[in-house]
Amino acid sequence: KNEVEQSPQNLTAQEGEFITINCSYSVGISALHWLQQHPGGGIVSLFMLSSGKKKHGRLIATINIQEKHSSLHITASHPRDSAVYICAVSYYSGGGADGLTFGKGTHLIIQP
Amino acid sequence: ETGVTQTPRHLVMGMTNKKSLKCEQHLGHNAMYWYKQSAKKPLELMFVYNFKEQTENNSVPSRFSPECPNSSHLFLHLHTLQPEDSALYLCASSQPRSPETQYFGPGTRLLVL
């Protein structure tokens, strides 16, 4: 079974700071997913990565397949970035649709 | 409004009750998922359906019974639940390929008394 480890579990930073959240996993995957969960529960998919790097606005996600490690970066952080960020992995299940295995999440608070 | 809707949004039930959670997706997807988020625990996969067929059951107790009548609708039937089943239940959908981005509903927050 794949283990997904995230760090840090909690992070408080000042507005404008560069944020890094890390994720490591234990076995081969089909993709790594970064998700954002706001209070109230709604989850939004930010990135799905199989290799390399992706960027969307102020968010950057990278993955190193050999080291089984991914990072999510937020540049010029803003209070509206405050949320729980969750790393998840999918693995080939053979059924054509892969369920996700999740990390515990990183609770990020950006103070003005 | 999100492409994945869930009803009800909140539910309180007794241990002897029977209730159902409903999920509907308007994205044209053929894969649907149930996930459970308990307090202070990571999200965990419950069931996967692909083209209405169950392809994964993550060792879920039989008091949770999923149903997928078509690719747009997914139900989770609940009976004789325990207080420890109180959690946020999330539905998601995706294209039936591996890997694919999943789109989540807002969740049903369930309290079992």
Residues B5-37: tens digit of each pLDDT = 999 999 999 999 999 999 999 999 999 999 999
Grade residue A97 by pLDDT with cuts at 50, 70 and 90. confident
All residues of chain B having their beta carbon less than 8 Å from the beta carbon of residue A105 are 42
Q: Which of residues 9-28 of A touch B (CB under 8 A)?
A: none
| Separation in Å, CA of B28 to nearest CA in chain A | 15
Q: Using the beta-carbon criterion (under 8 Å), do B99 and A31 form an inter-chain contact?
A: yes
DSSP 8-state secondary structure symbol assigned to residue B26? -
> Average pLDDT for residues A6-22, to the nearest whole number?
98
Beta pairing class for A69-74 and A59-64:
antiparallel
pLDDT, position A27: 86
Question: What are the tokens at A19?
Answer: 């944020």
Q: 3-state class of B23 per DSSP?
A: strand
Provide, as residue numbers in chain B, all residues whose Cβ is less than 8 Å from the Cβ of A49: none
* Dist CA B32 CA A105 (whole Å): 23
Q: Which residues contact B45 (CB under 8 A, 6 or more apart)?
A: A99, A100, A101, B33, B34, B35, B56, B58
Q: Which of B45, B50, B107 sits opposite A96 (nearest CB)?
A: B50
In chain A, what percentage of residues exceed pLDDT 70?
Answer: 97
